[in-house]
Homo-oligomer: A and B are copies of this chain.
Amino acid sequence: MSIVLASRESSKIVTEEEKQEQLAQLFKALVHPARIAILDILRNGEQCVCHLEANLGYRQAYISQQLAVLREAGLIQDHRDGLNIYYRIVRPEVFALIDVGRAMVGMEISRSPLNAPQTACPCPRCATKSD
């Protein structure tokens, strides 16, 4: 069940039916508010998991699970830097989806990611960057 969005590198043939399945997976990834919140935080650039944990208020394992869903949907990518693992958006088009969706339900599009208590993230980058 590890579906990956249209990989431009590989030259394998993708049937219409498979694309429909991928389309479903794409929207499925956006069904969960926690995943949208994660994408929202990544909107401004890559972030480590601890940053997400601190900003969203969910527990680490929970966030890792949601990240795995987004990763399998081909929306994000990770890379390690020392102890920390940083995630970044690989399909910025997803924000078009989120923004249109938000407009449809009457949400402001450019608002702060979440109303969580913005706990400080202990990782080196976060420490130097914003806190």
Contacts and interface: CB of A to CB of B under 8 A. Distances in A.
Interface of A: 5-6, 14, 16, 19-24, 26-28, 30-33, 36, 91, 93-94, 96-97, 100-107, 115
Number of copies of chain A assembled together: 2
Interface of A is mostly: helix
Contacts of A93: 100, 103-104
5 contacts: A6-B105, A16-B115, A20-B107, A93-B104, A96-B96
Nearest to A93: B104
Contacts of A102: 19, 23
A27 B103 CA distance: 13
Contacts of A91: 104
